[in-house]
Amino acid sequence: MNLKIAVLGGDGIGPEVLAQSIKCLRAVEETFHHHFTFTEGDIGAVAMEKYGKPLPEATTALCRASDSILFGTIGTLKYDENPSAKVRPEQGLLQLRQELELFANIRPVKVFPTLVNKSPLKKHVIFGTDFIIYRELTGGIYFGEKKLSKDGTLASDLCEYSEKEISRIAHFAFKAAKNRRKKLTLVDKANVLETSRLWRKVVSKIGESYPEVQLEYLFVDNAAMQMMLHPNHFDVILTDNMFGDILSDQGSAICGTKGLLPSASIGNDHAMFEPFHGSYPQAEGKNIANPVASILSTAMMLSHFGLHEESRSVVTAVDKSMRKQIVTQDLNVSSKYGTNEVGDFIAANIIDSE
Amino acid sequence: MNLKIAVLGGDGIGPEVLAQSIKCLRAVEETFHHHFTFTEGDIGAVAMEKYGKPLPEATTALCRASDSILFGTIGTLKYDENPSAKVRPEQGLLQLRQELELFANIRPVKVFPTLVNKSPLKKHVIFGTDFIIYRELTGGIYFGEKKLSKDGTLASDLCEYSEKEISRIAHFAFKAAKNRRKKLTLVDKANVLETSRLWRKVVSKIGESYPEVQLEYLFVDNAAMQMMLHPNHFDVILTDNMFGDILSDQGSAICGTKGLLPSASIGNDHAMFEPFHGSYPQAEGKNIANPVASILSTAMMLSHFGLHEESRSVVTAVDKSMRKQIVTQDLNVSSKYGTNEVGDFIAANIIDSE
Ligand SMILES: [Mg+2]
Ligand SMILES: [Mg+2]
């Protein structure tokens, strides 16, 4: 397969973890005889310094012309310490998602057996936890009309959803469930919210086209409870923007470390893959950042393009790095391996097992 | 102190757990020389059967004329199995909260040392966890305008908050923090929501009148994560209706069992105390329901009226029942004690330790 890949390293540790992802994709390319081209683009604080804005047109154009986007991280200490700055690096990412209509945010949560000790949850509770959250990303209360009365004493936010917004991500989630353990949990608050009742109506209707997928409904408060008590209950979770924001962050805590979690933001025409963690500016250039989340996001990318065996080869190599303790210091304080060495090891262990 | 107490047992196990609470309050009355009067009222399915509605006027009148309300649980199998019934037992509770303006829902989360093994979280994670959630209960998106377009393809919910709604519960929360570890965490999503920005503005202003309380802000997604990673970080959490719904249910999961958690719903003129758990109709009349949540809700009531020593005597007696394993079978499958015996033991151990 030929793939044109846009590489947006961004700020902080973004470029250095992305460099490891590219090593791994080069190894996949060679092992499985594909052809990947990588083109770099600026985004975030680094773009603000060069062009005065966090998302230059050239970057948007590059992304539009690419098959896939690999994204690093965004944000620097300068802006973290000044939360009221009008133009902010993060806006580059939000704007890009909006422009490319990346309406589905996908967050897998899986506990590596060798890292059970990192989880805040007891071993028997997390045993077998392996779920994936489909969060609607461009609608709902975060994007609805906001009002503040003139005297500043009354504020409001409008949560709106249309059938179209719900159905396009629902199809993604059902397809994912079909390829997994065939269970979809719609999380909403349909006993109270009108938008939730629309989600339920649309999703249950779409469910009829996926008879092999078991569809269940869970109120969001109960879902937050179950994610703590029985995280292994879930397979695919489908939910709106705000509930998804809360639950995917709660879910990420299950692993006890953010350094391992990949994510994807997908639309009908474009797809972007990124580590879940932040830009960690304190670690920039020190060869200590954990590259695994970024590398696992390339596994998500490969699956997205139907390259399932290739994807598995990346995950297997990551697994091996954990078992052999070729990990960064966030996972093992006495480790002597850095970002580069972990990336090298994983790339070197990408093999065609067939 | 003289207290007129309305006793609304409701459905399922409500009346039998409340009976244990009354035993304990009788013991407090005698030990500390107070005078409590108890008057029963109907609410829920039992009221629907007698009067055709879940909240008869007589019950509302009784509550208005009382200093405090003890509430049991609501809901029966008949209604649980028919979620679309127009008139529902739960409406009795919602209506009562509305009529008495009980705008603050208070949920303490504390892990009993003897029950650490029940928690899904590891021992070192929950060590020292003891926080209390102040959830706004009568405003926000659950009560805002709901719309559905004629063709049924576009739905909306409006989230509204006024300065007044925020400030009245904020004062409650600051006062609570002042009497505890002096830390208040406002949970919101102020980087996105206008209502959250109003919460922040109002709460930070009120905070100036409570200089001894340390005020911090946390985004709700981060709060859900921290509640899993570092639940012992929190002292008092203040938040809106929906975020509070999610976080208080997540928080309750920390204990691993609902049988222990009390709650209160407070307004400026009235106060209601109830166990967090449901009506568990399968257990009704079997003398197996855990009365501890209901009994601990009386400890909340005593504190509410400034009877702190009396409140501590109840908590201490409950603690003792745990240490001596005088518990129901949900906490120890081989226990020979039932609802009544646990209630008797706790009541008998309420003593004036001064
Ligand atoms: Mg988030
Ligand atoms: Mg709830």
Note the Cα B167 to chain centre separation in Å: 20
Residue of A156, A230, A252, A263 to mutate when probing chain B, most B C-beta within 10 A: A156
Ligand 2 centroid vs B247 CA: distance in angstroms?
Answer: 8
Is it the case that residue B217 has pLDDT exceeding 80?
yes
Ligand 1 centroid vs B189 CA: distance in angstroms?
Answer: 10
Q: Is residue A269 classed exposed, middle or buried when 0-12, 13-18 and 19+ CB atoms within 10 A define those classes?
A: exposed
* Inter-chain CB proximity A146 and B229 less than 8 Å: no
Question: Which residues on chain A are in Cβ contact (under 8 Å) with B189?
Answer: 142, 242, 245
Give, as one character, the DSSP assignment of residue A98: H
Question: Which residues on chain A are in Cβ contact (under 8 Å) with B229?
Answer: 120, 253, 256
Question: Which residues on chain A are in Cβ contact (under 8 Å) with B248?
Answer: 221
Grouping H, G, I as helix, E, B as strand and the rest as coil, residue B27 is helix
Indicate the pLDDT class of residue B83, thresholds 50, 70 and 90: low
* Inter-chain CB proximity A246 and B229 less than 8 Å: no
Q: Is residue A291 classed exposed, middle or buried when 0-12, 13-18 and 19+ CB atoms within 10 A define those classes?
A: buried
Mean pLDDT of B129-140: 96
The owner of tokens 């603050």 is: B104
Query: Contacts by B39-43 with C-beta closer than 8 Å and gap 24+?
Result: B39/B4, B39/B5, B39/B6, B39/B7, B39/B66, B40/B6, B40/B7, B40/B8, B40/B9, B41/B6, B41/B7, B41/B8, B42/B8, B43/B8, B43/B10, B43/B71, B43/B74, B43/B92, B43/B93, B43/B96
Residue of B118, B249, B258 to mutate when probing chain A, most A C-beta within 10 A: B249
CA distance B138 to B245: 12
Is it the case that residue B242 has pLDDT exceeding 90?
yes
Number of neighbours of residue B118 by Cβ within 10 angstroms:
16
Ligand with minimal distance to B224 CA: 1
Mean pLDDT of A306-316: 96
Indicate the pLDDT class of residue B117, thresholds 50, 70 and 90: confident
Q: Does the ipTM exceed 0.90?
A: yes
Note the Cα B133 to chain centre separation in Å: 9
Give the end-to-end CA distance of chain A in Å, rounded to a whole number: 18
CA-closest candidate to residue B101, choices B133, B74, B70, B137: B137
* Inter-chain CB proximity B161 and A155 less than 8 Å: yes
Question: Which residues on chain A are in Cβ contact (under 8 Å) with B119?
Answer: 122
Under a CB-based contact definition with an 8 Å cutoff, are residues B138 and B122 in contact? no
Indicate the pLDDT class of residue A84, thresholds 50, 70 and 90: low
Mean pLDDT of B331-343: 96
Ligand 2 centroid vs A225 CA: distance in angstroms?
Answer: 9
CA distance B56 to B48: 9
Write the pLDDT tens digit of every residue in A240-267: 999 999 999 999 999 888 789 999 999 9
Query: A155 — phi, psi (to 5°)?
Result: -125, 155
The alpha-carbon gap from B253 to the nearest alpha carbon of chain A, in Å, equals: 5
A266: tokens are: 């997908």
More confident residue, B75 or B214: B214
The alpha-carbon gap from A194 to the nearest alpha carbon of chain B, in Å, equals: 6
B180: tokens are: 């505890």
Indicate the pLDDT class of residue A335, thresholds 50, 70 and 90: very high
Question: Which one of B154, B159, B222 has the shortest CB-CB distance to A141?
Answer: B159
The single residue of A67, A80, A130, A245 carrying the catalytic annotation is: A245
Percent of residues, chain B, with pLDDT higher than 70: 98
Question: Which residues on chain A are in Cβ contact (under 8 Å) with B146?
Answer: 193-194
CA distance A149 to A135: 31
The single residue of B4, B118, B142, B217 carrying the catalytic annotation is: B142
Is A245 a residue of the active site?
A: yes
Q: Report strand pairing: A104-110 vs B104-110.
A: unpaired
Ligand with minimal distance to B90 CA: 2
Is it the case that residue A189 has pLDDT exceeding 80?
yes
Write the pLDDT tens digit of every residue in A119-157: 999 999 999 999 999 999 999 999 999 999 999 999 999
Ligand with minimal distance to B251 CA: 2
Indicate the pLDDT class of residue B81, thresholds 50, 70 and 90: low
Is A51 a residue of the active site?
A: no
Question: Which one of A155, A195, A245 has the shortest CB-CB distance to B194?
Answer: A155
pLDDT at A345: 98
CA distance A242 to A44: 24
Under a CB-based contact definition with an 8 Å cutoff, are residues A289 and A325 in contact? no
Ligand 1 centroid vs A249 CA: distance in angstroms?
Answer: 6
What's the count of helices (H) and strands (E) in chain A, helices before strands?
A: 13, 12
Q: What is the mean pLDDT of chain B?
A: 94
Mean pLDDT of A35-63: 95
* Nearest chain A residue to B198, by CA: A155
Indicate the pLDDT class of residue A303, thresholds 50, 70 and 90: very high
Is A249 a residue of the active site?
A: yes
B65: tokens are: 């004329």
Is it the case that residue A89 has pLDDT exceeding 90?
no
* Inter-chain CB proximity A224 and B194 less than 8 Å: no
Q: What is the mean pLDDT of chain A?
A: 94
pLDDT at A354: 67
Give, as one character, the DSSP assignment of residue B146: E
Between chain A and chain B, how many beta carbons pairs sit less than 8 Å apart?
165
Question: Which one of B142, B163, B229 has the shortest CB-CB distance to A153?
Answer: B163
Q: Is residue B353 classed exposed, middle or buried when 0-12, 13-18 and 19+ CB atoms within 10 A define those classes?
A: exposed
* Inter-chain CB proximity A224 and B253 less than 8 Å: yes
Write the pLDDT tens digit of every residue in B295-328: 999 999 999 999 999 999 999 999 999 999 999 9
Write the pLDDT tens digit of every residue in A191-239: 889 999 999 999 999 999 999 999 999 999 999 999 999 999 999 999 9
* Inter-chain CB proximity B221 and A156 less than 8 Å: no
Question: Which one of B142, B194, B221 has the shortest CB-CB distance to A246?
Answer: B221
Is it the case that residue B345 has pLDDT exceeding 80?
yes
pLDDT at A80: 67
The single residue of A4, A51, A53, A142 carrying the catalytic annotation is: A142
User: Domains (ranges, CATH) in chain B?
Assistant: 1-100+270-354 (3.40.718.10), 112-254 (3.40.718.10)
Under a CB-based contact definition with an 8 Å cutoff, are residues A263 and A276 in contact? yes
Q: Exposure pattern of B57-95 as b/e (b: 16+ CB <10 Å)?
A: eebbebbeebbbbbbbbbbbeebeeeeeeeebbbbbbbb
Under a CB-based contact definition with an 8 Å cutoff, are residues B156 and A195 in contact? yes
Is B205 a residue of the active site?
A: no
The single residue of A110, A118, A189, A258 carrying the catalytic annotation is: A189
The single residue of A249, A286, A324, A352 carrying the catalytic annotation is: A249
DSSP B78-144: HHHT-TT-SS-HHHHHHHHHHHTT--EEEEEEE--GGGGGGSSB-HHHHTT-EEEEEEE-S-GGGTS
pLDDT at B316: 96
